[in-house]
Amino acid sequence: MKTYYDPADLPKFGTISQLQPELAEKFFDWYGAVFAEGALTQREKSLIALAVAHAVQCPYCIDAYTTDSMQKGATEQMMMEAVHVSAAIRGGASLVHGVQMMNKVNEVSM
């Protein structure tokens, strides 16, 4: 293994079932059901997946859900806005803890 990530590994996702078929089957069934059209459209779900892919910084997921979002009719503007949502939550999650820091400052300060 020369690199940790190889694009050729993405289509092999299904092979995780080789070492644990029952749990893999449950996972892939559930995965399929999650992305089916429901109260959210398939396109909305794909854009959420794209945003989460950026939050967890998974290159497989970014590859898969950029393609999937485009196939579902998402525009480039929609996809970049989704990435900004991801970034805003990550940045905001750090900043909102500033309140915790300030609480501690107030606790220990004269």
Partner 1 sequence: MALATTSLIRRGSELSNVGVQRQLLQQDAAVLSLPQFDEQLMHSGIGELRPLSPSILQINLGKMCNQACKHCHVDAGPDRTEIMSREIMQQCLDALDASTISTVDLTGGAPEMNPEFRWFVEQLSARGVMVMVRCNLTIIVANPKYHDLPQFYAEHGVHVVSSLPFYDATYTDRQRGGGVFHDSIRALKMLNDVGYGIENSGLLIDLVYNPVGALLPGPQASLEKEFKRNLSDKHNVVFNSLHCITNMPISRFLEFLVNSGNYERYMRTLVDAFNPAAAHGVMCRTTISVGYDGRLYDCDFNQMLEMPVASRVKHIAEFDEAQITSRMIATDRHCFGCTAGSGSSCGGQLA
| Closer CB to partner 1, 57 or 75, in the complex | 75
CA–CA gap between residue 66 and residue 64 (Å, rounded): 6
Binding partner 1 (rule: CB under 8 A), the pick from 28, 40, 42, 48 is: 42
Q: Is 78 in the site for partner 1 (CB under 8 A)?
A: no
State in angstroms the smallest separation of the CB of 37 from partner 1.
Answer: 7
Identify which range of 22-30, 63-71, 83-91, 94-102 contacts partner 1 by CB under 8 A. 63-71
CA–CA gap between residue 61 and residue 59 (Å, rounded): 5
7 residue type, one letter: P
Query: Site residues for partner 1, window 11-30 (CB under 8 A)?
Result: 11
| Closer CB to partner 1, 11 or 91, in the complex | 11
b or e along 6-30 (b: 16 or more beta carbons within 10 Å of the residue's beta carbon)?
eeeeeeeeeeeeeeeeeebeeeeee
State in angstroms the smallest separation of the CB of 77 from partner 1.
Answer: 9
Q: Which helix (H) or strand (E) holds 84?
A: helix 76-96
